[in-house]
Structure 1
Amino acid sequence: MASILIAFDSTQQAIRTEMLLEFADIDIDTRPTPKEITAGCALSIEFPEEDLHTAAKIIRDEKVEIRGFFQKREAGYMAIEWNKEVEG
């Protein structure tokens, strides 16, 4: 199953997002940020791809500051457009 990774520029935003996604019953894994993703925070959150819409909506609605959403591909982690995943 494919997964999505959220990278952050601050540990505070990572911890805040962890709490918000857990409250929404999204199965998450907090893990070190992969070296190929340039971010100011050593923590990232990984979750199932099918929860992208819900996670993006929470991040938008709660005004969480993130570096971006990423998905692992053959060439490494690629940034994915997430604003388009949220309607309204």
Structure 2
Amino acid sequence: MGAWMLIAFDSTQQALRTEMLLEFLDIEIDICPTPKEITAGCALSIHFPAKEVELVKRTIIDEQVEIRGIFEQHENEYVLVKM
């Protein structure tokens, strides 16, 4: 299994919209609880393969999805990735 990244949201509506968009693109995703280390307004986050990060970023920008951020997990902490 390769590296995974995480998208955190401020609203459930945006999380569900992103889930639909990424599934449409056949990107393997996993809906999960937002880690307690990340402050976000929504309890749902999406894990996705790190190899898909550029397509995910482009989709978020093109579709004007509102997110808290995209994060990489490094040991026990999450690091925000620049858009």
Give TM-score scaled by structure 2 length.
0.96
Runs of 5+ unmatched residues, structure 1: 83-88
Identity %: 61
Cα RMSD of the aligned pairs, angstroms, is: 0.7
**1:44 and 2:57 equivalent?**
no
Cα deviation, 1:6-63, whole Å, max 9, x if unaligned, reads 0000000000000000000000000000000000000000000000000110100000
Number of corresponding residues: 82
Q: After the TM superposition, which parts of structure 1 deviate over 6 Å for at least 4 consecutive aligned residues?
A: none
- CA drift at 1:73: 0.2
For structure 2, list consecutive stretches of 5 or more residues without a partner in the other structure. Answer: none
Write out aligned runs for 1:58-73 (5 A): 58-73=59-74
The Cα of 1:75 is off from its aligned counterpart by 4.5
- State the TM-score, normalizing by the size of structure 1: 0.91
